[in-house]
Structure 1
Amino acid sequence: MDELFPRARTTVAPGAVHIPDWLDAHRQRELLAACRDWARPPAGLRTVRTPGGGTMTARQVCLGRHWYPYGYARTVVDGDGAPVKPFPDWLGELGREAVRDALGEGPAPYDIAPSAETAPYDIALINFYDSDARMGMHRDSDEKSDAPVVSLSLGDTCVFRFGNTETRARPYTDVELRSGDLFVFGGPSRLAYHGVPKVYPGTAPPELGLSGRLNITLRVSGL
């Protein structure tokens, strides 16, 4: 159904941009099919355990390099030990397209867009949220590159909390991310704290055939 008031592109903070409905229905289905393949073992969807003995409620699969708290490896060192699945070229192209669309328009007081043309996106972290899953405030700081992070949403709507670079506390902005939405953050916002305090179950587009939320984040490792 069409929006009574269409959602607008929003600059949430310098270098942090939300573009609603960036992925059309066809591209969402294609990306979901790929995620389902990647989630199969070996090196498939896993529960992430923290050094303190806790577990993340969102489950995860990685491409290119395997993320574990708090580093990267070539194998699933905290899971089945299998080699991590390769990062496909087409996903890197999607990441560069996303950065161009989000950060390549108009003048900016920081240099982001040119790096989008050359930076080789080579890592994907794919998180699956069921209705009870959450993600605490954290920074994406284990990469050696300051290239923008690309975040794509599929399935259920969530509250995405985008904060500041100094603390997990306020000030922060809550953004509603729906299936097909794009969120990119780089430049002065590259190391901002962010998290997902809430997922709204049953809000995914019915035609997508997904129960829960998938978040695909693309990064440049610099490794």
Structure 2
Amino acid sequence: MTQGILFNTEEPPGRRDAPAQALSPGAWLLPGLVHDRAGVLLSIISDIVRRAPLRHMATPGGGRMSVGMSGCGARVWVSDAAGYRYETHDPRTGRPWPPMPALLRDLAGECAQKAGYARFVPDSGLINRYGPGDRMGLHQDRDERCDAPIVSISLGVAAVFLWGGPTRAAPVRRIVVRHGDVVVWGGASRLTWHGIAPLLLAHHPLCGDVRYNLTFRLTA
């Protein structure tokens, strides 16, 4: 486990009113965009994981993902020895994934609109739960439709978002994402390599030492 406090729990003054920041063509960081709706979002997350508990999925190579995962919608991304894919049913229970609440669907569309992507209606919402030391290696999102954007919402402890380029060897930028921040990417940046650096030990008044990430995609 990584030690030490990485970020203050207090947000920088004026952050919620900060302008959108371009990360690359078609990719934007929207600081604090959903900050004021965080309480409702965390309540929805709690309800979803009550019905589809978080789990640490296996990778095709036999490893174990450090991040706890669940999701909602018509299809949710899963990983196991058979590979990466989207499934309509929770492999653990055999039941359909919880339906995506209208509030989440509409909020994802609103965030996409802010980044210049009109009429985005996701059919998949992935929940990632990061504890101290958890990480997400650099990867591309290739298992869903690439003609639609991805909307990523951060809640809880701040993290370092790794933003690369179109190839695995491209230089990687380290971008702090805080509670209530949203990152949206599509178009020319849709297949950008990205990830999350190991989460350092910190505290957030609503989430303790945890970061939640809500990611919305169109899969069909």
TM-score, normalisation: structure 2: 0.86
Report the CA distance between 1:162 and its aligned residue.
0.9
| Match in the other structure for 2:25 | 14
Aligned residue pair count:
204
Q: Distance in 2 between matches of 1:124 and 1:150?
A: 9
Of 72, 79, 104 in structure 1, the residue corresponding to residue 86 of structure 2 is 72
**Is the 8 Å Cα contact of residues 167 and 192 (structure 2) preserved in structure 1?**
yes
| Match in the other structure for 1:50 | 59
Residue segments in structure 2 that go unaligned for 5+ positions in a row? 1-9
| Match in the other structure for 2:148 | 147
1:58/1:20 CA distance change after superposition, 3 Å:
same
1:166-186 CA distance string (max 9 Å, x none): 22x332211100000010000
- Runs of 4+ in structure 1 over 3 Å off: 4-8
Report the CA distance between 1:202 and its aligned residue.
2.1
| Match in the other structure for 1:94 | 107
Report the CA distance between 1:201 and its aligned residue.
2.6
Identity %: 36
| Match in the other structure for 2:184 | 184
Q: Distance in 2 between matches of 1:145 and 1:9?
A: 23
Of 209, 212, 215 in structure 2, the residue corresponding to residue 214 of structure 1 is 212
| Match in the other structure for 1:134 | 135
**Is the 8 Å Cα contact of residues 157 and 201 (structure 1) preserved in structure 2?**
no
| Match in the other structure for 2:166 | 165
| Match in the other structure for 2:97 | 84
User: Once superposed, what is the RMSD of the aligned Cα atoms?
Assistant: 1.8
Residue segments in structure 1 that go unaligned for 5+ positions in a row? 104-112
TM-score, normalisation: structure 1: 0.85
1:119-148 CA distance string (max 9 Å, x none): 421100110000110000111110134211
Q: Distance in 1 between matches of 2:214 and 2:110?
A: 15
1:178-205 CA distance string (max 9 Å, x none): 000010000011111100013233242x
